[in-house]
Each structure stands twice: as structure tokens, then as C-alpha cells.
Amino acid sequence: MAPLLMILAAQLLIASGNLLVKLLETNAPVFQLVLYRQLFATLLVLPFVWRLQGNLKLSPFYKVHLSRALLIGLGNAIFMLAVLHLPLATVTAVIYTSPLLLLLLSAFFLHERIGYRRTVAGIIGFTGILLISQPTEFNLYIGLAFFGAMTSATNSLILKAYSTHEHSFSTLFWSNAFAMVFLIPATWYEGADFNLPVAQVGLTLGVFLYRHDLPDYPCLSTSRCEPNGTSGIHRPYFCRIVRLVVFG
């Protein structure tokens, strides 16, 4: 019960974070926003990683973290751009295609058994997405939101494949730290002046990131979450699908 409550709380934080982003100007610098988000999340996790390892040695899976960092930086910037230009209901419905994409990707790349119950849940979830978004047209920003969903699903897939090799704090720290490699030059190229509201929202999102990412790690990193021996990779996302159906 406690892990499920943590996941539900995480979803509330995600919704709250999207609302904060929506309150910014539509021309807000998205790379600057994501830079503050990932930087503050990295600094929050740093003391835990230091205490866990006794030092700050480079992860042996740095190439994996670099791949995830690119997805984090690019995917989040594109998603923030979609949030700024789309109604929240629409962008939320589109981004919730991520768990459905994750079902397909994990079956194809990790050879995980989906089963009829997950298949039915996926179909119902997709129906919920259509009921919420009620798509009548396709534009650039809906495409960007879908791209953000794809990067999120791919990121979770990589996490599933390697998370048993490293502590969750270490994984969270290095993926966000390496994101700076891409976000700092991207922010410089963006050329925007320092924006205090963007910095404030970014720092708040950093706290939310720390709080909503960690509840997903136990089920992503082990199969004990599922009684039939299949992976628990989809468990953190089932409540999202249920919410799609209910709100739809």
C-alpha cells in the first residue's frame, strides 16, 4: 500500500509541476528551465550519493547515463515547450501515452510478457487518452508532446535494463549530472537572459523530480513487484492508465 501511495503522490507532483510551467510566459526559455531543474535535482541527491559511496567516483555505466542524460535534456525541453503552448488536459493526455509505449518497447526489446490483462489495460488506457484529449487536429506541439512521451518511455526502458547494476541514488545522480553536458551549451545557444520566474519554477521542479522519480525505482529495478514473475516495469504506470480511464 505504501509504495502505491508514493506513486500516486508522485503523479500529483507531476501534475503540479506541469501547472507551474503553464503559468510561465509562452516564450520562456525551455533549456534554461530544464537546466535549473536538473541542476537542483543533482545537488539534492549529491549528499546521499556521497554518503552511500564515501566519495564521488565516476559510475562504470557512464555511457548509459550519458544516453539517458541526452534523453532527459532533449525530451524534457521539448515537453516543456509543448506544455507552454497546449492546453494542460491535451498535453497530459498525450504524455500519458508513455506507459503504453513502454509496454510495447519492453515487450520488443526486453522480451517481457505483456499478457492479456496488460493488453486490455493498454487498450482501455489509450481509449481514455482519446476521451480526454478529444483530438480534432494534429499540430506541431502535439507532435512535440508525443516525442516527449517517446523519450520518457525509452528512458524508462534503459533504466529497467541497467538499474539492477547500481543503486537508485547513484543512477538518479549521474543521469541528471551528465544532463548538464548537453543543457549548458543548449542554454547558451538559446541566448536568453536570466529569468527569475523560470529559475524559481526550475528549482521547484527539481524538488518534484527528486520526489517523483524515486518511487518508480523499486518496481523498475526488480521483478518482485509482480507475483507471476514478470517484470514490474509497468507497475508505476498502471495508476496513470487508471486515471486516464476515470477522468476520460
DSSP string, 48-104: HHHHHHSS-PPPTTHHHHHHHHHHHHHHHHHHHHHHHHS-HHHHHHHHTTHHHHHHH
> 140: pLDDT confidence band, cut at 50, 70 and 90?
confident
Task: Check pLDDT > 90 for residue 160.
Answer: no
Q: Which residue has the higher pLDDT, 199 or 130?
A: 199
* Number of alpha carbons in the 13 Å side-chain half-sphere of residue 225: 20
Query: Scanning the structure block, which residue is given the C-alpha cell 496513470?
Result: 240
Which tens digit of pLDDT belongs to each residue from 10-53?
Answer: 666 666 777 888 888 888 999 999 999 999 989 988 888 888 77
Residues contacting residue 153 through CB under 8 Å, at least 6 positions apart: 98, 99, 101, 102, 105
Of the candidates 248, 139, 193, the one whose C-alpha atom is nearest the C-alpha of residue 29 is 193
Burial level of 3, CB count in 10 A (0-12/13-18/19+)? middle
Mean pLDDT of 173-183: 90
* Residue found by looking up cell 548537453 in the block: 182
CA dist 241 and 236 (Å) reads: 10
> What's the whole-model pTM score?
0.76
Most confident of 22-36, 161-175, 199-213: 22-36
Do residues 141 and 87 lie in contact, with contact meaning Cβ atoms separated by under 8 Å? no
Report pLDDT digits (tens) over 219-228. 444 444 444 4
Give the per-residue pLDDT at 96: 76
Q: Measured between alpha carbons, how far is 153 from 97 in angstroms, rounded to an integer? A: 9
- The secondary structure of residue 228, as a DSSP letter, is T
Q: What is the pLDDT of residue 123?
A: 78
Work out the end-to-end distance of the chain between its first and last CA atoms, rounded to an integer number of angstroms.
25
Q: What is the pLDDT of residues 109-128, one digit of tens each?
A: 878 777 777 777 777 777 77
Is 10:215 a contact under the CB 8 Å cutoff? yes
Percent of the chain with pLDDT over 70: 75
Give me 140's grid cell.
506541431
Q: What is the pLDDT of residue 134?
A: 66
Q: What was the pLDDT predicted at 132?
A: 67
Under 8 Å between Cβ of 206 and 85: no
Given this model, what pLDDT does residue 36 score? 93
